[in-house]
Amino acid sequence: MARMQGFLIKTAKVLKEKGFLRLSMWFLERAKKIDGKEVEKLLEEQKHEYASYLEKKAKEYEKNGDFTEALLLLERVKDLGKEVDEEWMERVREESRKQKEFETKLLLNPSSMGFQFANQYRKWLFSLTGTPRHSSEDDSSRKVVPPEIFKVWKEAYKNPEDYEKQYKLALNFSVYGYIWEAILQAEKTEKLKKTPEIEFLLGILYMDTGEKEKAAEKFTCAIELDPEYQEAYYYLGRLFSEIDDEIAIQYLRKCIEIDPTSDIAESAIEILGGIKETIEV
């Protein structure tokens, strides 16, 4: 346990140095579960720094017209123990409510074929803000929802509390390239039940949209739920190969150890070989 905590603390420090404040704090919180006294001071310092960062980002989101994301960040700031201007938060909350109402009408009613209109709406919204909420991909040219998705969509719509049907819809959105919809659906599914599969899917989706910190969190969650989840170790190794070689090696070795004969282990060996060559040079 002490060795694991040491690894988590070291990882958190490396991430902080690289500017990944959210992910650094997340690893410290995991380390605290092992021995709170060891990391309490580090965690409190990180919380204050991270809360200030989130507040700044919330202002940027508000300026760009993305009130839902701004509200999420402000709520996180309060959770971290920092006071937030209540008038500002209430204003953002009201704008977020209006935004959600509009998006819900467009996206969550299969009978209205909301996909097509939602894509047009997002294209217009992005032309104003310059930044998509979840994806840089502009899929507004798609005119028809694939029949396979539409069938799964209707089943999920009829059974909102059925985890399997909700997960299947998120997976189908992902497979057919509807990344923005896949993320929304996967986040909704995760609220029903946290499983290694939904955490891993969210990790892949966040990777696709460049949200590396969120991706690493979700892959780590998948491992916490299933310590033998080989693919999660592989993708953590890939992510950390861009941040810190030593941490990446730990995850890649574990991936290979679980099943050395698998295709994903072969891919891990290739990355591991590239890291070792870089270190030797």
In this predicted model, what pLDDT tens digit does every residue of 212-223 receive, in sequence order? 889 999 999 999
Q: Residue 15 contacts by C-beta under 8 Å, 6 or more apart in sequence?
A: 21, 23, 24, 27, 243
Contact in structure between 149 and 175 (CB atoms under 8 Å): no
Asked, for residue 209, whether it belongs to a domain, the answer is no
pLDDT above 70 covers a percentage of the chain that reads 81
- Poorest-pLDDT segment among 5-14, 52-61, 246-255: 5-14
Question: Which of 138, 132, 200 is closest to 167 using CA atoms?
Answer: 200
Convert the pLDDT of each residue in 247-281 to its tens digit: 999 999 999 999 999 999 999 999 988 886 554 43
Residue 187 lies in a domain: no
In terms of phi and psi (left: phi > 0; alpha: psi -120 to 50; beta: otherwise), the region of 65 is left
**Number of domains forming the structure of the chain:** 1
Mean pLDDT across the chain: 81
Q: Is residue 210 part of a domain?
A: no
Report which of residues 54 and 8 the model is more confident about: 54
Q: How many helices (H) and strands (E) does the chain have?
A: 14, 0
Query: Given pLDDT bands bounded at 50, 70 and 90, which one contains residue 119?
Result: low
Q: What is the mean pLDDT of residues 125-138?
A: 41
Question: Which residue do the tokens 């892959």 mark?
Answer: 219
The pTM assigned to this predicted structure is 0.67
Using CA atoms of 151, 157, 162, 168 in order, give the dihedral in degrees to the nearest 10.
Answer: 40
pLDDT in tens, 155-206: 988 899 999 999 999 999 898 888 888 999 999 999 999 999 999 999 999 9
Residue 241 lies in a domain: no
Residues 6+ positions from 238 with CB-CB distance below 8 Å: 248, 271
For residue 140, tell me if it sits in a domain: no
For 89, the domain range is: 1-133
How much is the average pLDDT of 227-244? 93
Question: Across residues 20-35, what is the average pLDDT?
Answer: 80
pLDDT for residue 276: 62
Instruction: List the structure tokens of 214.
Output: 């969120």
CA distance 178 to 172: 8
With respect to residue 198, please indicate whether it lies within any of the assigned structural domains: no
Spatial CA neighbour of 130 closest among 58, 64, 71: 64
Residue 43 lies in a domain: yes
- Residue 105 falls inside a structural domain: yes
